[in-house]
C-alpha cells in the first residue's frame, strides 16, 4: 500500500484557513470560557460502518472503523466534535483499499424548541493518497432534535456543504449531507446508547467531467455524560 509523503500532505486541499480560524474563534469565545459550567458534556465512542463510492457504482468500497465524539451543550449553544478512522477493505476487484480518517465540527444555535441552526466543517483524508479523494468542506444546515422522553431522543439534520475542496482538484456545485440519529439512555443522562446515520453527496466536477462522490455512514456508540 502506497503511503502519503510529506510533500503530498502539504498539497491536501480543505476548508480555507480563514474559515477554520473564524470557526475556532467563535467556538472559543462562546464555549471555552464557560465550559466548566456547561449544562452537559458528553464523551462517546462508536463503531462505524461506511460505504464509500466515487465516479461509478462499481467502485463502491465498504469498511468499518471506530471513532469518538465530544458534545457540549450550553444553553442554546451546542458543540459537537467527532472523528473516526476506518479501514475500507471491502473493495471490488481493481479498486484499491484504503484507510479513511474523518473529523467533523458542528456548532449549533437553537432558534426554537426543536430546531437549531448548525454551522461547521469537516475533513476527510484517505491513505494511500488518491485511493479516494481527500476532501475538506464547510457546512451550513439545520438540526432538529426531539426529546421523546426523559431517557430518549431523536434528531435529524441536513446541511449544505460549502466550499468543498478536493486534493484531486475540481469543485462541487451540489454538496449536501443528511443525518438521522436516536439515543436511549438512563434518566439521569449519565449513559446513552446512540445510533446515527449520515449520508453525504458531493457532485464533483473537473471541468466538464463529472466525478461524483457519495458516502453513507452508520454509527453505533455509547456516551458518558457529565
Partner 1 sequence: MRRVLLLLVMFAAPTTALAQEHPDVVRAKAAYDALDFAAAITLGQRALTQRIGRDDRVITTELLGMAYGALDSTRQAVEAFKQLIFLDPDREPDVEQVSPRITSLYASALGQVLVVRRLGVDSATFIAGQGGAPVRFQLSRSARVMTRVVGSGLDMVVDSQNVGGAARVDWRGIGPDGNPVPAGLYQVIVTAFEGSSEFSAAIDVVVLHGAVDTAQHLASLPGYTERPESVSPPRGFKPLGLAVLFAGVTAGASLALENTTLGGGERREIGGVTLLTVGVGLFLSLRKPDPVPVEANIDFNRLLREQLAAENSRIVEQNVARRRQVVLTVVERREER
- Enter the DSSP assignment of 7: H
**Distance from C-alpha of 88 to C-alpha of 91, rounded to nearest angstrom:** 7
Strand residue runs (E) in 39-151: 40-54, 61-74, 77-90, 98-112, 115-127, 135-149
| Rg, the chain, Cα only | 18
189: contact with partner 1 by CB under 8 A? no
The C-alpha cell 474559515 sits at: 19
The answer to whether 102 and 124 are in contact (CB under 8 A) is: yes
Output 47 or 101, the one with its CB closest to partner 1.
47
Count residues contacting partner 1 (CB under 8 A)? Answer: 41
Output 191 or 197, the one with its CB closest to partner 1.
197
140: contact with partner 1 by CB under 8 A? no
Q: Hey, which residues does 74 pair with through a beta bridge?
A: 77
**Distance from C-alpha of 220 to C-alpha of 46, rounded to nearest angstrom:** 5
**In the complex, least distance from residue 24 CB atom to partner 1, rounded to whole angstroms:** 30
Segment interacting with partner 1 (CB under 8 A) among 7-15, 68-76, 124-132, 182-190: 182-190
Query: Among 156, 168, 189, 225, which residue interacts with partner 1 (rule: CB under 8 A)?
Result: 156
142: contact with partner 1 by CB under 8 A? no
* Interface residues toward partner 1, by CB under 8 A: 49-51, 53-54, 56-57, 60, 62, 144, 146, 148-152, 154-156, 158, 176, 178-184, 195-197, 199, 201, 203, 210, 212, 214, 216-218, 220
Amino acid at each position: 500500500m502506497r503511503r502519503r509523503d510529506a510533500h503530498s500532505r502539504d498539497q491536501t486541499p480543505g476548508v480555507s484557513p480563514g474559515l477554520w480560524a473564524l470557526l475556532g474563534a467563535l467556538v472559543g469565545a462562546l464555549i471555552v470560557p464557560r465550559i466548566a459550567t456547561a449544562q452537559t458534556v458528553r464523551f462517546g465512542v462508536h463503531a462505524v460502518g461506511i460505504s464509500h463510492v466515487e465516479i461509478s457504482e462499481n467502485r463502491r468500497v465498504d469498511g468499518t472503523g471506530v471513532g469518538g465524539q465530544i458534545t457540549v451543550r450550553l444553553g442554546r449553544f451546542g458543540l459537537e466534535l467527532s472523528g473516526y478512522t476506518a479501514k475500507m477493505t471491502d473493495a471490488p476487484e481493481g479498486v484499491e483499499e484504503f484507510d479513511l480518517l474523518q473529523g467533523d465540527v458542528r456548532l449549533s444555535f437553537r432558534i426554537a424548541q426543536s430546531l437549531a441552526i448548525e454551522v461547521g466543517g469537516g475533513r476527510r483524508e484517505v491513505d494511500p493518497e488518491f485511493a479516494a479523494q481527500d476532501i475538506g468542506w464547510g457546512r451550513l444546515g439545520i438540526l432538529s432534535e426531539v426529546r421523546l422522553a426523559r431517557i430518549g431522543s431523536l434528531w435529524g439534520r441536513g446541511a449544505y456543504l460549502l466550499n468543498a475542496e478536493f486534493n484531486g482538484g475540481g469543485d462541487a456545485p451540489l454538496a449536501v449531507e443528511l443525518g438521522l440519529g436516536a439515543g436511549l439512555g438512563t434518566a439521569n443522562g449519565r449513559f446513552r446508547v446512540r445510533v446515527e446515520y449520515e449520508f453525504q453527496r458531493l457532485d464533483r466536477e473537473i471541468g466538464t467531467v463529472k466525478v461524483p462522490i457519495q458516502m453513507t455512514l452508520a454509527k453505533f456508540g455509547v456516551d458518558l455524560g457529565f
